Every structure is written in structure tokens, then in C-alpha cells.
């Protein structure tokens, strides 16, 4: 016999937020009984049951007050009256003003970047601003250059997505046809040169796409960034701001970064400081690794609506596998005229072997062999077995065979398929 779930009715006053976290295996079901409420900018429908699972970190906010019913027992749960939501709403209002002006003059809408250290709510603020924008009928582009978590595709990638609908409460934004580039590492510092090339390419293509339709153009872009904000990490932020031609940067929770950007940005770029929400939860290293793993599992198996990936063998001779960047050598050991940096963008042919086991491989879109580095990817497969005798790889793939392209790029990221 299962124990009956605890049922609680929670009344939220104006401008307050119910925050809860689920660490155990217990599920929590939430229902809006009356009033209005939203999760990171997505409105809750009255009378609909929303289910949250292990790992969920949730904030249900209300501008007008509401009554919620909660079934199940989260590990942490409290009501917060102090939130930065009014400031975030004002930020949205300012962006909306810029979009209206852009629409009238047929110019480009606001391209803005959200920056700050790890775990200050950058991704959450992006989601909120995108949701508010689509709820106003806009079609903004969401760009994510945070290779550590990968909210658009697998970790180790950067990408862009046209947002046409608000995120769903349980699954986030619909990820149809994103533009994705494979970086293959979880930190830009693993190959600074390659990261910069990919950010430039993503910016170039995203800016082109922005020009293709009037509505998209006036809606602008929201860019999420890495939490690495010192030394090379800071230089990557400056480079991204320039490449994407941003008009504003919102700095979450770090005055030092705010002042550095004020000093280094040209005058036409507005640098705005925003506080972080007290609800944002810090994730230790272990949890970050788990959430990366969950992201990859979600890519192959889906989240709430299940996906059924395929498993098949491919012959070694039928694919060409490359990686970008050869092991670093001191300049003195490099061929005449080459520097270590060139080595980091070198295309290296990989001979299939057991070393590929559990690695993610990016399937490249058709492109020229000369410019593999700047070619976007169609999707990812994971190597689940290597047979030396038969010279085959068994792969997990979202699509049945054949692969849409036989040119594959090795990622350092690994995934153990436990299904």
C-alpha cells in the first residue's frame, strides 16, 4: 500500500514566490487553484496538474496573488517575498520599447547578453526574458554560448534557436531546428582559439538569420554566456559582445565584472547591473556533472515525452572521424612558421579504436572538408561498443541508419548509456 501524498494549499500574496527543491525520488504535483502564477515567465494554466521530479529547483511567482495546491513533499519549500522580479520585468519593458522602435523603423531589435559568475540565474533570466517576449508576440533568437551545460543542445556545444512559443513548464523551450556548433569540451579554456572561432561563426550566422524576417529582426536576441568571467573567460565575453554586436549587457550579481565591462565596452553598449534572486541554487561540481549527463540522456531519450533512439553498427571504413586540436607542443617543436595556437585549430584524423567508447560524436552538416571547424552539426551519436575484430562501432542515434553524413567530429564528452 502506498502512503497517501501530503496535500497542502498555499496562498501567495502579491509579488511573492513559492520556491521548492526536490532531492529525493519523490514527485511533487502542483496545481493553480485561483489567481495568476508563472514559472520563469511561463504562465500556469488554472486546474492543470504539473509534475516535478528529482532534481527540480522551482520558483512559482505571482504578480497578483494566487492559491496553489501542492501534493507531495519537496525537500525544501518556502515562500519568499523578496525577489528581483520587478527589476526583471522592468528590464523586459525596456527591451520591449526597443523592439517597438525597431519595428517602426524596420531596424534591428535589441541584442543583449546576460553575464555573471556560475549559478546566479543567467539561464533562468534568459528564459524569463524570452518567455515575456514571445508572450508579447515577438520571435526572439535565443543564443547559448555556455558550453558547460548546453541548454540548446548537448553539453560541449554552442547554439542558437528561434523562440516561437513560451517554454513549457516541464520541458522548457521546443528545440526544433536549432543551429549548433560542436566545441567538444566543457570549458572554453580547453581550446580558447577554437571557442573564439565558433562564437564568431555562430554570431555571423545568427545575425544573418535575424535579417531574414521582419518580425524576428525587430525581436532581437538574448545571449546566455559561461560563468567563467576572469582572465580568458572575461576576454571571451568581450569578444562575444563584439561578434554579436550587442547593444546591452546585463550583469548579474558581480560588481567587479560590472565595472570592468563599464570600463571596456564602447559607449553605445549599455551595461546594466541586476541583482540575483535569493532563490538561485548553487550547484556543486558533482551536481553539474550529473546535470550534464541528464542533458545528454534527455537528448537521446527525451524528458517527459519519451524518445526512442536507435542502436546500430557502422563500419570503421564507412566514416571519417576527426577531432580539432592536436596536443599542445612548445613553439620550438612546431614546424617552421606555425605557432602552438595553430595547432589548436588543426584537423586531426582519428583512427577508430576502443578509445572512442562512450564518446559523443557530432554528425556534421554537409560542408566543405576545408572548413570542418566552422561547419554546424546535424545531431549527435554516442559510441556504445567498439568491435576490433569486425572493425565496427555500435552507436546510439536519435535517427535510424544511415547517418545523414559520414563526417564525424569527436567530442571529449562521454555518456554511459545505462538503458
Q: C-beta of 118: minimal distance to ligand ADP in Å?
A: 5
369 contacts: CB under 8 Å, gap ≥ 6:
407
Which of 74, 109, 110, 121 binds ligand ADP (CB under 6 A)? It is 121
Looking at the Cβ atoms of 277 and 405, the one nearer to ligand ADP is: 277
Answer yes or no whether residue 203 interacts with ligand ADP by CB under 6 A. Answer: no
Helices (H) and strands (E) in the chain, counts: 8, 23
3-state secondary structure of 322: strand
Q: Which stretch binds ligand ADP (CB under 6 A): 62-70, 118-126, 178-186, 336-344?
A: 118-126
168 is in an annotated binding site: no
Looking at the Cβ atoms of 282 and 389, the one nearer to ligand ADP is: 282
CA–CA dist 138, 216 (Å, integer): 7
Answer yes or no whether residue 155 interacts with ligand ADP by CB under 6 A. Answer: no
Q: Residue 197: left (phi > 0), alpha (psi -120 to 50), or beta?
A: alpha
124 is in an annotated binding site: yes
Q: Residue 18: left (phi > 0), alpha (psi -120 to 50), or beta?
A: beta
CA–CA dist 74, 227 (Å, integer): 28
Looking at the Cβ atoms of 120 and 362, the one nearer to ligand ADP is: 120
Looking at the Cβ atoms of 141 and 280, the one nearer to ligand ADP is: 280
Q: C-beta of 286: minimal distance to ligand ADP in Å?
A: 14
Q: Which of 384, 379, 392 lies closest to 358, judged by CA? A: 384
* Window 123 to 142, contacts with ligand ADP (CB under 6 A): 123-124
Which of 72, 109, 279, 379 binds ligand ADP (CB under 6 A)? It is 279
- Environment class of residue 79 by beta-carbon count within 10 Å: exposed (0-12), middle (13-18) or buried (19+)? middle
Q: Which stretch binds ligand ADP (CB under 6 A): 97-105, 276-284, 293-301, 315-323?
A: 276-284
227 contacts: CB under 8 Å, gap ≥ 6:
116, 117, 118, 119, 120, 122, 146, 148
Q: Which stretch binds ligand ADP (CB under 6 A): 116-124, 266-274, 367-375, 392-400?
A: 116-124
Site map (CB under 6 A) of ligand ADP, residues 4-33, x = contact? ---------------x--------------
CA–CA dist 135, 132 (Å, integer): 5
Q: Which stretch binds ligand ADP (CB under 6 A): 161-169, 213-221, 277-285, 369-377?
A: 277-285
Could you identify the residue written with the cell 527589476?
87
123 is in an annotated binding site: yes
Q: C-beta of 172: minimal distance to ligand ADP in Å?
A: 10
Could you identify the residue written with the cell 553575464?
115
Could you identify the residue written with the cell 516561437?
164
Q: How many beta carbons lie within 10 A of that of residue 89, not counting itself?
A: 16
CA 272 to chain centre: 22
Looking at the Cβ atoms of 64 and 315, the one nearer to ligand ADP is: 64
Looking at the Cβ atoms of 184 and 279, the one nearer to ligand ADP is: 279
CA–CA dist 127, 11 (Å, integer): 25
CA–CA dist 214, 343 (Å, integer): 42
Looking at the Cβ atoms of 122 and 201, the one nearer to ligand ADP is: 122
Answer yes or no whether residue 392 interacts with ligand ADP by CB under 6 A. Answer: no
Residue 409 pairs in a beta bridge with 322, 362
23 is in an annotated binding site: no
CA–CA dist 172, 204 (Å, integer): 26
CA–CA dist 410, 372 (Å, integer): 12
Q: C-beta of 412: minimal distance to ligand ADP in Å?
A: 21
Looking at the Cβ atoms of 55 and 400, the one nearer to ligand ADP is: 55
Evaluated on CA atoms 160, 164, 170, 175, the torsion sign reads: negative
Site map (CB under 6 A) of ligand ADP, residues 48-87, x = contact? ---------x-x----------------------------
Which of 277, 343, 376, 392 binds ligand ADP (CB under 6 A)? It is 277
Residues within the interface to ligand ADP (CB under 6 A):
19, 57, 59, 116, 118-124, 227, 277, 279-281
Amino acid at each position: 500500500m502506498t502512503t497517501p501524498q501530503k496535500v497542502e494549499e498555499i496562498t501567495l500574496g502579491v509579488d511573492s514566490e513559492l520556491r521548492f527543491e526536490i532531492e529525493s525520488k519523490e514527485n511533487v504535483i502542483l496545481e493553480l487553484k485561483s489567481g495568476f502564477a508563472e514559472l520563469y515567465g511561463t504562465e500556469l494554466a488554472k486546474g492543470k496538474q504539473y509534475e516535478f521530479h528529482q532534481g527540480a529547483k522551482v520558483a512559482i511567482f505571482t504578480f497578483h496573488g494566487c492559491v496553489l495546491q501542492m501534493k507531495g513533499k519537496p525537500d525544501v519549500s518556502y515562500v519568499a517575498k523578496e525577489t528581483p522580479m520587478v527589476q526583471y520585468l522592468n528590464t523586459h519593458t525596456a527591451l520591449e520599447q526597443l523592439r517597438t522602435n525597431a519595428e517602426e523603423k524596420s531596424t534591428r531589435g535589441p541584442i543583449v547578453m546576460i553575464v555573471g559568475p556560475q549559478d546566479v540565474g543567467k539561464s533562468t533570466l534568459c528564459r524569463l526574458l524570452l518567455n515575456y517576449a514571445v508572450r508579447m508576440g515577438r520571435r526572439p533568437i535565443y543564443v547559448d554560448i555556455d558550453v558547460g551545460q548546453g541548454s540548446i543542445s548537448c553539453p560541449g556545444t554552442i547554439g542558437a534557436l528561434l523562440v516561437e512559443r513560451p517554454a513549457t513548464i516541464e520541458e522548457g523551450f521546443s528545440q526544433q531546428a536549432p543551429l549548433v556548433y560542436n566545441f567538444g569540451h566543457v570549458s572554453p579554456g580547453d581550446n580558447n582559439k577554437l571557442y573564439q572561432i565558433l562564437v564568431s561563426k555562430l554570431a555571423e550566422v545568427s545575425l544573418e538569420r535575424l535579417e531574414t524576417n521582419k518580425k524576428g529582426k525587430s525581436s532581437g536576441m538574448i545571449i546566455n554566456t559561461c560563468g567563467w568571467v576572469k582572465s580568458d573567460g572575461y576576454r571571451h565575453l568581450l569578444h562575444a559582445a563584439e561578434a554579436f554586436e550587442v547593444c546591452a549587457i546585463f550583469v548579474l550579481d558581480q560588481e567587479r565584472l560590472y565595472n570592468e565591462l563599464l570600463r571596456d565596452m564602447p559607449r553605445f553598449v549599455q551595461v546594466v547591473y541586476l541583482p540575483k534572486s535569493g532563490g538561485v541554487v548553487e550547484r556543486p561540481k558533482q551536481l553539474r556533472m550529473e546535470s550534464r549527463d541528464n542533458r545528454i540522456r534527455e537528448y537521446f531519450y527525451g524528458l517527459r515525452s519519451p524518445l526512442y533512439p536507435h542502436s546500430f553498427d557502422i563500419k570503421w571504413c564507412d566514416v571519417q572521424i576527426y577531432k580539432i586540436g592536436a596536443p599542445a607542443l612548445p613553439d620550438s617543436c612546431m614546424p617552421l612558421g606555425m605557432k602552438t595556437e595553430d595547432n589548436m585549430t588543426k584537423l586531426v584524423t582519428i583512427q577508430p579504436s576502443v578509445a572512442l567508447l562512450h564518446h559523443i560524436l557530432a554528425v556534421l552538416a554537409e560542408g566543405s572538408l576545408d572548413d570542418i571547424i566552422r561547419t554546424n552539426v546535424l545531431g549527435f551519436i554516442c559510441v556504445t561498443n567498439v568491435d576490433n575484430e569486425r572493425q565496427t562501432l555500435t552507436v546510439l542515434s536519435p535517427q535510424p541508419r544511415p547517418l545523414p553524413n559520414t563526417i564525424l567530429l569527436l567530442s571529449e564528452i562521454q555518456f554511459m548509456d545505462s538503458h
